[in-house]
């Protein structure tokens, strides 16, 4: 049977309601790229022990919102926003519960930042303003294909988990973020860096499949071989 994958949700306010929403790109990537059944998980106080025993993996999605700086000991400024505090709480619980069960966990963009913070790491804000850092923000365009276009290369750690999946030491990735890992959490291994030193991928050694990527493979899984390889490997881990 196809594995069942929980996909984290954003909380959005629209039409007078709070919506728990998942972008369709992630749902298609899980269904078609990983060969699994995606199941959106509301950012509620859920009985995770009961739930995680019935599923086969977890995807933490990217989002426009950022992890609230109080979660990693930094004072809040307007520049740190926007925020989704309900998602922060729900996803930190989800990460720790999934790790405790050794469920396959694929963390994308905000999801990778959540993984780092949940394990005790910190984030840097507006990295494009830091010395010798590149601008990793989305290209200004109304076209999603242009915004999500492949933007720069990353150097992949030799013999690491990511290298084994994509079969290369360098790949080109898309880049849509202004926050990034600052202090790496204990227990995470760096799997790739951008040319400016920004950490682009991490893993948790010793786990079945725990991988975080700072880019967006869900957008090009149908046409970009490294993106396809990531979702295929995640799906295989979930089936096992």
Q: Just list the catalytic residues.
A: 109, 216, 218
Q: To which H or E segment does residue 114 belong?
A: helix 110-118
Q: Is 185 helix (H, G, I), strand (E, B) or coil?
A: coil
Contact present, 121 and 185 (Cβ < 8 Å): yes
Q: What is d(CA 64, CA 118) in angstroms, rounded to the nearest whole number?
A: 19
- CA 36 from chain centre, in angstroms, equals 18
Q: What is d(CA 61, CA 9) in angstroms, rounded to the nearest whole number?
A: 8
Torsion angle (degrees, nearest 10) of CA 202, 25, 60, 56: -100
User: Residue 232 burial by CB count (10 A; 0-12/13-18/19+): exposed, middle or buried?
Assistant: middle
Q: What is d(CA 5, CA 39) in angstroms, rounded to the nearest whole number?
A: 6
Q: To which H or E segment does residue 123 belong?
A: strand 123-124
Torsion angle (degrees, nearest 10) of CA 44, 48, 51, 52: 130
Strand partners, 108: 213
């Amino acid at each position: 049977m196809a594995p069942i994958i929980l996909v984290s949700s954003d909380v959005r306010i629209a039409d007078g309601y709070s919506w728990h929403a998942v972008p369709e790109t992630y749902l298609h990537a899980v269904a078609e790229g990983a060969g699994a059944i995606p199941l959106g998980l509301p950012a509620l106080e859920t009985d995770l022990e009961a739930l995680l025993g019935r599923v086969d993996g977890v995807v933490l999605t990217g989002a426009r919102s950022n992890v609230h700086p109080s979660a990693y000991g930094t004072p809040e400024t307007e520049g740190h926003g926007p925020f989704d505090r309900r998602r922060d709480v729900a996803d930190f619980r989800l990460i720790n519960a999934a790790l405790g069960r050794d469920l396959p966990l694929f963390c994308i963009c905000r999801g990778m930042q959540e993984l780092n913070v949940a394990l005790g790491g910190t984030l840097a804000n507006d990295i494009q303003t830091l010395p010798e850092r590149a601008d990793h923000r989305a290209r200004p365009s109304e076209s999603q294909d242009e915004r999500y276009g492949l933007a720069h290369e990353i150097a992949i750690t030799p013999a690491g988990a990511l290298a084994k999946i994509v079969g290369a030491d360098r790949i080109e990735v898309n880049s849509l973020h202004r926050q990034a890992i600052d202090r790496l959490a204990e227990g995470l291994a760096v799997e790739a860096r951008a040319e400016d030193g920004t950490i682009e991928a991490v893993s948790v050694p010793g786990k079945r499949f725990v991988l975080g990527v700072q880019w967006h493979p869900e957008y090009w899984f149908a046409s970009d071989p490294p993106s396809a390889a990531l979702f295929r490997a995640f799906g295989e881990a979930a089936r096992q």
